[in-house]
Structure formats: structure tokens, C-alpha cells
Copies of this chain bind each other. A is one copy, B any other.
Amino acid sequence: MSKRSKLEAILGHCFVDSDLLDMALTHRSATQANNERLEFLGDAILGAEVAEFLYRQFPFAREGELSRMRSKIVRAESLASVARRLNLGDYLALGPGETKSGGHRRASILGDAVEALIGAVFLDGGSQTAKESVLRWFADELSVASLSEPVKDAKTQLQEWLQQRSKPLPHYQLVEVGGQAHQRVFTVSCRIDEVANDMSASASSRRKAEQLVAELLLEELGKMR
């Protein structure tokens, strides 16, 4: 397997126009036909793809939270991590000075190359290919964003969702208490206008049952989106 094929296998994209791949990996210290223009393009495409991902992934997050999450994902440090996972350092073309001073490992050079590669994949394979590459290359960063979002409990999320749309708040009703005295089972039911059926759930406490039924309702709302 040639060195290039190996890289293309890691990237998950085989370039039709291999000049684009070369250019994306060429630092400005090497030659004038370098990756600065592609970096400009790729940076913008990355921003849009991450914005779309977060918008869809976090239907309850406010604009400020979305912005904060995106900044984390596209900051220089994250870009450099992605570059290291893609092993880009081995493929960079640098000028003699940068090569000598360890430019292959410099975070800023690595990060710029990732952005340039996104631009190159976009031009070579179109917007869908670019989107898929971003989601694959940044999978770790995107899943960390999901984890680090302040997790709101289901009842709060449901209440906010309804308030944002000026809908009446949900009314949770305790419909049954069963089980033995030392092992009670509480069943709570709830209904909102947006979901056709009454939902109910059972748990070892009323509070837990309410959370469960709120989760069920959020799931139903999620299906409708």
C-alpha cells in the first residue's frame, strides 16, 4: 500500500484530484501553492457542519450553549488532536526551517492542515462527503460535547420545551400505588396536547415515575421533529 493510499484509507476519502490533497498538506513555509486558501474554506465548512450537528443534537440547548460547545470543538487544541489521530504529521510538506524546528508536531500547523483537508474534501467530493468526513474525524470531540452539556432532567426539559412554545404545563397524575408496603410501585400518568396518547410509567418513587413519564413524552416529541 502506497503512503498516499494509506492516508486516504485513514481519511476515508479517495481523492479524484490528488493535487487538492497535496495542497491541503502543504504549509506556507514550503511553497506559495500552500494550504492557506483551503484552510479558509475548510474552517467555514467545519463551522457550519458542527453548528448543524449541535442544533439537531441539542433541541433544548440555547444559542449561548450551542456557541460554547462549538468553540470547544473547533478550538486549535481539538483540531490538533484530530490531526494526530489522522496521523497528518507524517504527510505534511514544510519548509526546511519548519521541518528542522519540529513543525510536524506543532499544534497550529496540524490544526490548519485539518481545516485545509476539510476544504479539499469538500471541493473534491462535494458537500455530503465533507459532512460525513467531519462527523467521522471529529466523532470524539462531538461526543464529548454531548457529555459535557449540563444535563437537565427530563421534567425540566419537557417544561422548558412547552414554555418556549407557550403551551400549558404538563400535569402529572399519580394513578396507582401498588406493591408491598416496603416495596411500593408508583404509577404516574401525564398527557400533553402534542402527543396523542396518555403516557404512564411506574417506579419505586413518585418522583422517579414522573421523570420516566417525562422521558417518554420527550421521546415522542423527538420522533415528531
Count the A residues whose beta carbon is within 8 Å of the partner chain — how many? 31
Q: Do A62 and B33 touch across chains, with their CB atoms under 8 A apart?
A: no
Q: Which residues of B are found within 8 Å of A41, using beta-carbon distances?
A: 51-52, 55
Query: Which residue of B31, B51, B119, B122 is within 8 Å of A40 (Cβ)?
Result: B51
In the assembled complex, A36 has its CB within 8 A of some CB on chain B: yes
Question: With A164-B32, A165-B33, A166-B33 known to touch, is A39 a contact of B51 (CB < 8 Å)?
Answer: no
Smallest Cβ distance from A223 to chain B, in angstroms? Answer: 14
Q: How many copies altogether? A: 2
Of chain B, the residue at the smallest CB distance from A66 is: B40
Q: Do B66 and A37 touch across chains, with their CB atoms under 8 A apart?
A: yes
Subset of 11 A-B contacts with CB under 8 Å = A32-B160, A32-B163, A32-B164, A33-B164, A33-B166, A36-B63, A39-B63, A40-B55, A44-B48, A44-B51, A45-B51
Q: Report, nearest first, the 7 A-B pairs whose CB atoms are least far apart.
A: A44-B51, A48-B48, A32-B164, A36-B63, A44-B48, A33-B164, A40-B63
By a beta-carbon cutoff of 8 Å, the part of chain A in contact with chain B is: 31-33, 36-37, 39-41, 43-45, 47-48, 50-52, 55, 61-63, 66-67, 70, 119, 122, 127, 160, 163-166
